[in-house]
Each structure stands twice: as C-alpha cells, then as structure tokens.
Amino acid sequence: MATAQAVSSSRSWFKSLELVLGILFAGGIVLVVLLSPALFPDGGEGMDLMARLIPPFQSWQHILGTDPLGRDVLARVAVGGKISLMVGFLSVIGAVIIGTLVGLVAGYYRGIAEILLMRFVDIQLALPFILVAIMFLAILGAGIDKVILVMIATQWVQYARLVRGSVLSLRDREFILSARAIGVGNGRIIFTHILPNVLGPIIILMTLQVANNILLESSLTFLGLGVDPLIPSWGGMLADGRTYLQTAWWVSVFPGLAIMFTVLGLNLLGDWLRDYLDPTGQTSK
Amino acid sequence: MSDTPNRQSEALLSVRSLSVEFGTGQGTFKAVKDVSFDVQPGRTLAVVGESGSGKSVTSLAIMRLTDYTGGRITSGQVLFRPDGGEAIDLVQASDARLREIRGNDIAMIFQEPMTSLNPVFTIGNQISETLILHQGLKGREARLRARDLLQKVRLPDADRLLDRYPHQLSGGMRQRVMIAMALACNPKLLIADEPTTALDVTIQAQILNIIRDLQQEMGTAVIFITHDMGVVAEMADDVVVMWKGEKVEQAPVRDVFASPQHPYTKALLSAVPRLGSLKGQPLPKRTPVMVMDGNVAKPVGDTHEQNTADYTKPVLQVDKLTTRFDVGKTFFGRVTHRVHAVEEVSFDIYPGETLALVGESGSGKSTIGRTLQQLVEPTGGTVRFDGRDMGAMSPADRRRLRQEIQYIFQDPFASLDPRHSVGYSIAEPIIVHGLINDRKARERRVHELLDQVGLLPQHAKRYPHEFSGGQRQRICIARALASNPKLVIADESVSALDVSIQAQIVNLLMELQEKRKLSYLFITHDMAVVEKISHRVAVMYLGQIVELGSRQAIFENPQHSYTRKLLAAVPIADPQRERASVRIEGEIPSPVRPVGQEPAIHRMREVAPGHWVAIEADSLRGAA
C-alpha cells in the first residue's frame, strides 16, 4: 500500500493526462465522424479514375491519398466511421445492460435463477460465434441492425459472468449485511450498493469490446453476412486495402489508425472513469 | 531510560536511533523516529502502542522486512550479537547474510496464523522445510525433529498432525504450529507480533504459557509486540512504550505499571479496562478517560452511575431460540451434519438495560444477534419484541422491526460501503424507512447525529477511508441511531479498537443509552469491557447459556466452571499479581454434529434471585 502511495503524486498528473488524451483521441474522431455529412457531401463515393492511388500528403485535395477507384481516403474514413462507431457502441451498450442485469440477479439471488441463467451462459459461451452469427443472419437477413443484434445476443454472456463473479464476492461483505440489517430492500441493495462496486471491471471490458466489435463487423461483412459491402466502414476498408498493402499502404493504414485511436481514447477514458468513480482512489480491486 | 555501557555490551540486540520512512503522495511519512532500545539474552521486551504507533514497523525493520513493504530505513543501526561476540549491523548487512539470520537466529510469529501457513502443504512439510533449509537435515531426520517440535508446543497426537493441512486445525493449534516453526532452529531472538490477538482468551492463555515455558527452557530472548496491557503485564520483563513513531518510555515492567512517567503511558494505562475494578458496585459506571491533547493527557467525561434500566416490562423476550445451519451434504443432497449454533436459548432485555452476551468463538453469541436482526432464520423458539411475536408478524411489520432494532458490527470499515459518503450511509436508514422525506430536514438530522457521536457536520461529505478506526465506529453508531431504535445489538463493536478509543466508545454508548433509554445486547468476548458496560451478563458455551445473572453476581460469584475458566484466562494488567498457577487446557469443542445427534439441553437452577446456572454434567466439567 505504501508503494502505491509513493507513486500517487505522479499518478494524479498521469490521470489528468489520461483524461485529456482520451478526449482528444476518441472525442476528435467522433467529432469528425459526426460532421462528415457536412465536410464530405459526396459521402466518400466520388470516384475519380484519373486520380487513382495517390499517396498521402501529396495534394490538398486528397490529404490522405486515394484508393484504387480514386476515392478520397479521408472522406471514406470519416463517413465509414458512422457504421463502425454505431456497431461498436450500440452492440456494447446493449450487451452491458442485459449482461449486467442477468449477472446481478444470478449473483445476488443465487438459487434456481442462478443455476438456470448461468448454465445458459455456459452453453452460449461454448457455441462458436461464427456459427451463431451465420444461423442468426441467415434467418433474419443481413443489415446493420441485425449485426448489432447478433453481437448483443452473443456477447452479453461475458458481462453476465463477470458481474456474477463480482457480485458473489460482494454479497457476503459486511457492508451489504449491514445495509440489510438497517432494513434496505433487495432492489436498493443491488442498485445502490452492489452495482457501483462492480462498475470497474465492466468499464474495462466495455472499452476492449468496442474495438473488438468494430473489427467483427468487418469480418461479418467480408463473409457477406454483415452490412452492404458498398457502404464504407473501417473494417471493410481494412479488408479492401489488404490486396494493395505492398503498393498502396495508405488505403488500409488510415482506417486502421482510426480504429486504433478510437480504442486508445476509449481505454484512456475508461481507465480515468473507473478511478474517478472510486472514492478511495485505489485501482487495485 | 539511559542504559549503562555495561548493559549495552551484553545486549543480544541493540537498536540505535532507528528511523523508518514510507513514501506517500503527500511526501514521506516517518513511521519510526529515532528509536533505540536493547534486548537482553533470555529476557522478554514488550513493545506497546496503539495502531499507527510504529511498533510493528519497528519489528519488521529489525529483520529489514520493511524493504518488502515499501519502507526505507533512513538512519540508525540494528546491532545483533548472535554469539555474544562481534556485532553485525543488520541495516548494512548483505541480503545473503540476512537470509541466513532470518528464521535461523531471529524468528518471527505473526498475528494471523492462517495466512502465515501455506494452505497446500502439510504441517510436517512446512516445519521440515525450515529445518532442511537452515539446519541441513535430511527428509527423515527433519520429520522426526518436526514431531519433537510439535510435542514441545504441547500439541497432542503430533504424529498424525504432521500429515494434516492448516485448514484442518483450529486457530490456537495453528498458532502453536507457527511457534514450533519459529523455534525450529533454536533462534536467539523471537519476534512475536500480536501473536494472540486473533485468538480466544482461553486459547490466548495457553499460547502465552507455552511461549513463556519455551523461553525459559531454551533461553530465547523475545520481543513481544502488543497493544494489550494485560498481556504485557503477564509476559514482559521490560517495556518500551511507543507513540506516534517515537519511544516515549522504557522501563522494567513493574515500574511502567507502578509509576508511568510519560503522559501518554498514563493515558494508556488509565484506559485499560481492569477486571474487578467495579467490585462491590451493583451498577455499571462511566468513568473519565484520559485523552491525549497535544502532549498532555486530559480527562474527558465524568463519573456517572448507569442507573437506566427499567425492570417493569421487557422490550425483548427470547424463549427457547434455536438456530442451526446445515453443513455437509451427501451426493444426493441429504444433510449429514448441522452446526448447532444456538440451542434453546432464553433471555429477556429490559428498556434501558445492557445485557452482555459473552463467549468464545463458536459459542453462538453472534448467531443470536443475527437471528434477532433477521439476518439469519431461526430453526425454532419465539422472539417477542414489545410483546409481539416476531414469527407471527406480517412482512411489513418485520421490516419495521429493522427500524426498532439496529446492529453495530465489529469492523466499522467493512460495514460501510466504500462508494458512498458517510452522510449518505447515515441517512440511508431514514430514507428506507421513510422517516424524513424532506431533503433539507434529513441533512439537518444527519448533522445532528454526527454531533451526538462527537463528529463534525462537515464530515458528512467524506468517505469511510478518510476516517480513523474510532471515527468510523462513531459513524456506524450514528447510522444505527438514525432510525430511533429501541434496541441496539452491538456485535464485538469495540473489540477491534485501540484501548483509549475503546474506552471512549464505551462511554459514548453509555451516554447515548441514558439520553435515549436505549437497550443494548452487547455481544463480546472481552470480560473486562463487559464488567464496565453491562447490567446483566449471559455466558454462552457451545450454543447454550451456562450462566445468567447480574453483572455483580457473575463477576463476584461465578458458579459455572466455564465462567470461572473464562474469568481466569483474562490477562490482568498488573505485573505484581501472581501468575495463575492453574493451567487452562483443552480446545473449544466444535458445534458441528451429525444429523440425529442432538446436544443435551442444560437445565438451569436459580442459585440466587435472578442468578441462573446450568446444572453441570460431569462430562462438561471434564471438558471445561
């Protein structure tokens, strides 16, 4: 503990840096994506076959270069972010809400509810994702909303497991017992005493999962199960640029950088948020 | 306080101007400041102090174990003379040399015997390891020697114990194993850091006896770190008193108790609850506590007889309460064993009265508290609160009962949610029972409660980790009082606190009892505190009450053999007193029984008005 205190002054400085960089990276990218309809009215679809594969930083018109069809890479990264961010965020938010509720109920009430829910979770975890996705999308048809649904349906179980584990260790803690002794009801115990204490690990898993799902969307699209391949998305551009990696690296590197900075920014923000929510200021939990 | 040069030269260990620092966010924290003392061969030095006094850090620094806990020895010497010859300065010694000394010449015993033993190795393996490492013994020899050591700490059936795992032993047995391990290499110096604090009093008495005997037998010098002045009086030859990282007093044990010099020592001694201090007085009594204010000790509070009990109509009537837990199931889910935590226990509590429930671990005293607070379901019996049968109440009424009965836990830090401000925690019972719905009025009430327990209104916005242990317990008391309860169950609520804080909290509880006509069910193992606070006492043993009576009757005329044993085991803070010649032996039996094997219920007889004693069967007399 004493060593943890020793680094805490440099730590608080590092914490504010985390916040600033997080806002800069994730916030900047989200802002560009949101403004993309105004900045790039052609939606990144404008082809110019005379200007194919222009390298980046050569002309003001195409700062990040052009792809094999002469489309502006910057415009496509900005426009493509819409699909990627939507898939990334909505799928994670949906999965967190369902998974956390299930985990709280299973961990707190135990008994038959826990047995049924957790066995279901185990079965779901044992199924390969691609198989479930193919089955799902074959029945429902492709589309961004279905892609998000598949992700929620397959990923909530991870949150459920995580939350249940944390709740199990919390529910026998003395402050929960003392809340019960005072006459606090179950609902209130779950939401005011247990939930705030399990947020830390949830936030960490969330930030990692956003990146995962942005990439997952591109794999599904690649398999023809996801979004319409003509609509630009980061994952899709990454896959398209693969064949040109030797000759035109910029086609796939810039969407890759966009994913990287989004995720890095979110991780920094998540880390900061977790510490901010913990009044004791200890991260080792 | 100054040592003669002559004595210095023969000292086994000389600590000279030792200072230890810990780095923190706000700079460095000096845990130990310029401390010097000597340990003579074959003698026991007690280092006494409250939490944060630096006594444990000092003991760790001697073996340079502070290197591993983030501390830094900034100055001073630790001179160690293993063979009475050339002194080694442990502060400057190489890591390799230190490893030779640790466990070999200087051994250590820690407070928590469970965490100091490795759960995946047998007892035999763990003792042998030390022997193989330091003494170069081979497997078979090491095992034989390990068996000798277990016999030395008077563990019965040593042969079989060698193959057991730590979790199969009781706390007292584990501590004996730790002592056996510490003594494995015939150390010159044994450092014992609160070795009996986590143990029951009767077990503590046994462990202290063993340490004392072995010390005489082997001539080992002992540094005994403790906060318990009773233990000091029984064990020590010399005493070092530490306060805020400094040594404030050093003297032979009799002098420290007879004529303490430093104001802190005086304050410390005045706060120690002494068994027998209220002899001949029928009522419990509040007495002033000496509190350190800067460098002077000032008395706080007044002397006041606690004449609060009203014996017309009981507030709580417990009749043949039984609580059992199922443990051990067969593959098909049939219960094979049950913990008979509470068996047909009956007692009443009257308004304004404090009933103490005393017993050792496994006696079921906490289970009674938890059953009354509806945290545990009873197996049988009736509980009446204000004349109404709890078992026949509607769920809404039972919920309301949690407003009228409140519970204070042992560990105030663990019982407060770290994520909420203390203001919120105190307001919570008011919110959940819908007592005050106006936000502003609720805030005023929280401030009022904080004031009543001796804290400031601005403390409401802070979080539990920003308070000291005593302040946290005050917060828990404020929380318990928030819903205006009639009965407060205090479960070992002062046991984890330093004595001076403990005395203040006990006074606070008594003061609040008088102001609010509160009834207390005071659950504890500490007989000295019981004598100070309670009107009546119930002694529990293995889930049943063996003796129930007024405080005076229990303390001055104990009838049951277990009550006598419990009283005899309490260490007395008086070095002049003759050490009890009666040996206390035996473990506390387990309350776990196979299904179908019910314990016999004691019959009680009234030896004097209101003084009930269980009729003792010979078997119990033998066990106790």
Q: Is B375's CB within 8 Å of A180's CB?
A: yes
Q: Is B70's CB within 8 Å of A6's CB?
A: yes
Closest to B266 measured CA to CA, from B292, B286, B240: B292
Which tokens hold the place of B298?
């000032």
Q: Which of A161-175, B231-245, B431-445, B563-577 has the lowest mean pLDDT?
A: B563-577
Which tokens hold the place of A206?
């969330």
The residue among B86 and B513 whose pLDDT is bigger is B513
Output the pLDDT for position B579: 61
The pLDDT of residue A4 is above 50 = no
Q: What is the distance between the alpha carbons of residues A134 and B560, in angstroms, rounded to a whole number?
A: 76
B-chain residue closest to A180, CA distance: B375
Q: Is B419's CB within 8 Å of A278's CB?
A: yes
B165 interfacial to chain A (CB closer than 8 Å)? no
- B375: nearest CB among A6, A181, A197: A181
The pLDDT of residue B618 is above 60 = no
Q: How far is CA A228 from the centre of its chain?
A: 21
Closest to B191 measured CA to CA, from B77, B3, B65: B65
Q: Which residues of B touch A175 (CB under 8 A)?
A: 414-418
Output the pLDDT for position B583: 64
The pLDDT of residue B202 is above 50 = yes
The pLDDT of residue A283 is above 90 = no
Q: Which of A178, A180, A199, A280 to mutate to test the interface with B (most CBs of B within 10 A)?
A: A178
DSSP B368: H
The pLDDT of residue A9 is above 60 = no
Q: Is A188's CB within 8 Å of B416's CB?
A: no
A14 to chain B, closest Cα gap in Å:
13
Output the pLDDT for position A251: 87
Output the pLDDT for position B210: 86
Chain B from 225 to 284: CB within 8 A of any A CB = none
Q: Is B432's CB within 8 Å of A182's CB?
A: yes
- Kindly give the residue spans of alpha helices, DSSP state H, lying in B236-330: 253-258, 263-271
Per-residue model confidence as pLDDT tens digits over A74-118? 888 898 888 889 999 999 999 999 999 999 999 999 889 899 999
Q: Is B415's CB within 8 Å of A178's CB?
A: yes
Output the pLDDT for position B113: 65
Q: What CA–CA distances, in Å, run from B444 to A137, B433, B439, B452? A: 59, 17, 9, 12
pLDDT bin (cut points 50, 70, 90) of residue A10 is low
- B463: nearest CB among A184, A197, A279: A279
Per-residue model confidence as pLDDT tens digits over B2-55? 444 444 457 899 999 999 998 765 667 888 999 999 999 889 999 998 888 888
Q: Which residues of A touch B403 (CB under 8 A)?
A: 183
Averaged confidence pLDDT in chain A:
85
A-chain residue closest to B427, CA distance: A182
CB B539 within 8 A of CB B345: no
pTM assigned to the model: 0.83
The pLDDT of residue B420 is above 90 = yes
Output the pLDDT for position A3: 40
Per-residue model confidence as pLDDT tens digits over A188-225? 999 999 999 999 889 988 988 887 898 888 788 777 77
A273 interfacial to chain B (CB closer than 8 Å)? no
pLDDT bin (cut points 50, 70, 90) of residue B114 is low
Q: Where are the beta strands (DSSP E) in B244-375?
A: 246-252, 285-286, 289-293, 296-300, 304-305, 316-329, 335-349, 354-358
DSSP B252: E
Average confidence (pLDDT) over B147-161 = 85
Chain B from 9 to 48: CB within 8 A of any A CB = 22-26, 29
Q: Which domains does chain A have, with CATH numbers?
A: 58-277 (1.10.3720.10)
Chain B from 368 to 427: CB within 8 A of any A CB = 373, 375, 399-400, 402-403, 406-407, 409, 411, 414-421
A195 interfacial to chain B (CB closer than 8 Å)? no
- A177: nearest CB among B375, B419, B465: B375
Interface predicted TM-score (ipTM): 0.77
